[in-house]
Amino acid sequence: MKRSLKEQISLSSSAAAWLTLRLHAVVPEKRTPRAALLLHGATLSGFIFDLPVSGASFQERLAATGFASYALDARGYGGSTRPQPGEAGCAADQPFGRAAEVVDDLADAVRYLREERGHSEVALIGFSWGSVCAGLYASWFADELDRLILCAPIHAWRNDRWLHGLRDPVDRMRLNRTFGAYRWTTAEGLRARWDSDMPRSVGPAWREPAVLDAVLANALAGDPQSSTRSPPAFRAPNGSFADLFEAFSGRAVFDASRIRAPTLLLRGAADTTASDDDARGLMKQLGSSDKRYRVIAAGGHFQCLERSMPRMFDACAEFLVR
């Protein structure tokens, strides 16, 4: 691959004085007008897009294709501000970091890429819960994006498998009982979640052991409070789960009919979280004008971290450069 430059960027929020956002940039040596902004899912932050494993960096691949890429840590994730429950912007008994709030983070990032970095073309790529946030942004700011890619897209389709796990905390939220701002995930819990979305017949064969090790290590290292737990664990805002409860109950968080940017929906064939029914329903809402849906074989919900990631990337690149 061509050589790329990397940079950690701290971006002050225009919506909240207490909030600083982290952008991880991987850009080609030669200046480019084209930028891709990536947003992670509900549990892992933006580090997943530039893993220190040969061939596993989505951002390195984007740079080699001629795109400056920026991975955003939404509020409460990774290197962005993580307020303590009860502090400004973070109620102690409510889910923190809903999609409607993260849209402000995306707006700041897109504005920065256009005004400060000089990128005249900006594509937004959202993964899993990040697709909910990206879809909401694209519906509110319809003229700000040149391309939109929703990977493992989640919109509005009943998913009883997920509702079983999400119902209790969200119901407690609605009954105004205690519901924390964050949740904790251990390395073993993350491994089990990933395993659950791969067919039993293949088990962990769909991922490189070095990638799993890098994901687990970086997830724990990225939270300064991880060592306070036994076993060590890392935090993620619960706002994502509140959004997912709505989507998995069949209630859309965003109005897809308002999205005007050319859009690609991309999912792994074995993905049980982002279902084919949901993707097809979303396609109907998007309309037929410059909208596409692709399914990649031999991939689950974590496809951007699996052995089939290069095929997933190729589909993204083909859509971005056309």
Q: How confident is the model at residue 168 (pLDDT cuts 50, 70, 90)?
A: very low
Coil, strand or helix at 8: strand
SS3 percent helix, strand, coil of the chain, rounded to 5, is 40, 20, 40
Per-residue confidence (pLDDT) for residue 184, from 0 to 100: 94
Chain centroid offset of residue 35 CA: 17
Per-residue confidence (pLDDT) for residue 167, from 0 to 100: 53
Question: Is cis: bond before 231, omega within 30 of 0?
Answer: yes
Q: Are 179 and 172 in contact (CB under 8 A)?
A: yes
Q: How confident is the model at residue 308 (pLDDT cuts 50, 70, 90)?
A: very high
Per-residue confidence (pLDDT) for residue 197, from 0 to 100: 84
Domain boundaries, the chain: 4-321
Query: Can you count the helices (H) and strands (E) in the chain?
Result: 9, 10
pLDDT tens readout for residues 235-281: 999 999 999 999 999 999 999 999 999 999 999 999 999 999 999 99
Q: How confident is the model at residue 309 (pLDDT cuts 50, 70, 90)?
A: very high
Spell out the residues 6+ positions from residue 231 whose beta carbon is closer than 8 angstroms to its own.
186, 187, 188
172 versus 217: the higher-pLDDT residue is 217
Summarize the confidence of residues 80-97 as an average pLDDT.
94
The CATH code of domain 4-321 reads: 3.40.50.1820
